[in-house]
Structure 1
């Protein structure tokens, strides 16, 4: 049976979209292929014409999620600078919607257990994002990439903690403290280099 042109691409995109949401919401290990394919409205047998394995799907899904995140970072930086990007990242909306949120905050422990190809791809994409932020730091900032890494680590850790604690009040305090720490890290280093 022949299908219209573009159907295979549409099916592949649908599988990746569903997988990305599942992986970020439920975790990679807890997301079975059968559930992903069912949610995508496809049969299990339709998976293999698109991907060689679940590991390949994870790698491509993580790559796409990080590419989308780079676009979001670029937009936030262009619209309101680093402060706006920090506020958007450590917002209650981002905290409450891990399925559409940062792949790093949702998946880091599992990415660390993925094959080296996936970890290498993650490393490359993370460094792209770090360099985006580093380019926006004040011109006098010493070790711009190191400061940007510290900001990323602070933001990701704060979001993970805010999602993990029991209680909205504490969670919101963690988001606010993370935002303050990220801003302080940037200001302290740029002031020290003045």
Structure 2
């Protein structure tokens, strides 16, 4: 039986949506194709008309998640600037729902073990986020791209730590400390007295 293109596209989107949530929530290695397809309401055999391998699914679902994150960052920067973007990223809600949150914070160690094509795509998408943030830094920021990389490192690291510890008090302190560290990176540097 043949299905129309719209149904095939909907099935593919559903597989990617479920996989993206599973990968970010449970990890790539812990997410088997059988459970992804079951959650998507399909049989295992329905996977291969859409993707050649799990690696293809990982790459495409990660790209989609990072594209969504790029759109969310753009909206946050447009409506409330860097402060709003950081507050949203380091919120208890984001911490408590990794399955719908930042793919980087959820998957970095596993992304580092993916095939070169996936890591290359991840690099491209990360640089898009970095350039978005760099454009929104205060005027006269020296090395805006370097500062944006530092901000992302602080935010992602803080979110990962906040998710790893037990108890919300310490976790909340880590989120606040990460925001302070990211904020400090964006402050204009005073000229050296010797200059």
Asked if Structure 1 and Structure 2 have the same fold, meaning a TM-score greater than 0.5 normalized by the shorter chain, the answer is yes
Shift of 1:139: 1.4
Q: Does 1:177 pair with 2:177? A: yes
Counterpart of 1:167? 167
Counterpart of 1:51? 51
Separation (CA, whole Å) in 2 of partners of 1:104 and 1:5: 32
Q: CA RMSD in A?
A: 1.1
Shift of 1:138: 1.0
Per-residue deviation, residues 16-46 of structure 1 (Å, max 9, x unmatched)? 0000000000000000000000000000000
Aligned length: 192
Separation (CA, whole Å) in 1 of partners of 2:190 and 2:142: 9
Separation (CA, whole Å) in 1 of partners of 2:190 and 2:57: 45
Per-residue deviation, residues 33-82 of structure 1 (Å, max 9, x unmatched)? 00000000000000000000000000001100000000000000001000
After the TM superposition, which segments of 4 or more aligned residues of structure 1 sit over 6 Å from their partners? none
State the secondary structure of the residue aligned to 1:31.
coil
On the 8 A contact 1:141/1:193 being kept in 2, the answer is no
State the secondary structure of the residue aligned to 1:163.
helix
Q: TM-score, normalised by structure 1?
A: 0.97
Separation (CA, whole Å) in 1 of partners of 2:28 and 2:50: 18
Separation (CA, whole Å) in 1 of partners of 2:143 and 2:31: 39
Shift of 1:5: 4.1
On the 8 A contact 1:22/1:31 being kept in 2, the answer is yes
Q: Which runs of no fewer than 5 residues in structure 1 stay unpaired?
A: none
Shift of 1:192: 2.8
Counterpart of 1:84? 84
Shift of 1:95: 0.2
Separation (CA, whole Å) in 2 of partners of 1:2 and 1:38: 21
Separation (CA, whole Å) in 1 of partners of 2:133 and 2:13: 29
Counterpart of 1:139? 139
Shift of 1:88: 0.3
State the secondary structure of the residue aligned to 1:57.
helix
Counterpart of 1:114? 114
Separation (CA, whole Å) in 2 of partners of 1:107 and 1:50: 23
Counterpart of 1:3? 3
On the 8 A contact 1:142/1:193 being kept in 2, the answer is no
Shift of 1:193: 5.9
Q: TM-score, normalised by structure 2?
A: 0.96
Q: Which runs of no fewer than 5 residues in structure 2 stay unpaired?
A: none
